Amino acid sequence: MTTTVSNNPIQFCVIIPKKLNVNGMQAPIRDACIKDAKAMGKDFEKVTKTWDGDKPRIQTEVKSGVPAFHDSFLASAWPRADNSKGYWKWYWLDEGTSIRYATMTKGFKAKTKKSFIGSVKGRGGMLFVNKQMPRPGIKARKFTIAIRKKWEPLFKAHMATALEKARKASGHAM
C-alpha cells in the first residue's frame, strides 16, 4: 500500500475590515440631537408666547459622552431655573399650587390650558396680591409632561433615522 502525502497546507484567510469611521457615525446622531433640542425649546417657547411681563429663559443643550453612557449624546430643553420671576411663573403654572394670593380681574381667562403646548390671547389679569387672603390654588397645566409625551416618540423615530445614517457612514453598511 502506498501513501501519498500532500504538500499543500491547509490555509485560512482573515479579512480585516477597514476601520470604523467613528466621526462619520457620530455626526448624524449629533446633528439630529441638536435639531430636536432646538425644536423642543421652541415648544417650551410656544407656551409663553402670549405671556405679558416676565417669561422664563428656555435653555437647550446637547451633551456628548454622558458619564453613565460613554459614547452617547443627550438632547435637552427646559425652562432655566434661574430664580427669576419668569421661571417661577412657569413653575407655578406647570406644577400647580395648593393656594394663591393673587386675585384676578372679573372675567379673567387664562392664556394657558392643561397639557396644551401653546398659549392663547386670554383676558384680564392680576388685580392685587394679598397674603392675608389665600385663594384656591392654580391648577397644574403640566406643560413639561405634554412636551415630553410629544417628543418621546418623535425623538426615537429621529434617532432611528440618524442611526441608519450612522451605520452607512461607518463604512460597514450592508
Residue type, 113: K
Per-residue pLDDT of the chain (174 residues; tens, 9 = 90+): 666 666 788 888 888 777 877 778 889 999 999 999 999 999 999 999 999 889 999 999 998 876 666 678 889 999 999 989 999 999 999 999 999 999 999 999 999 999 999 999 999 989 999 999 999 999 999 999 999 999 999 999 999 999 999 888 887 776
- Please tell me the pTM assigned to this model: 0.82
- Nearest CA to 172 out of 20, 46, 58, 56 is that of 20
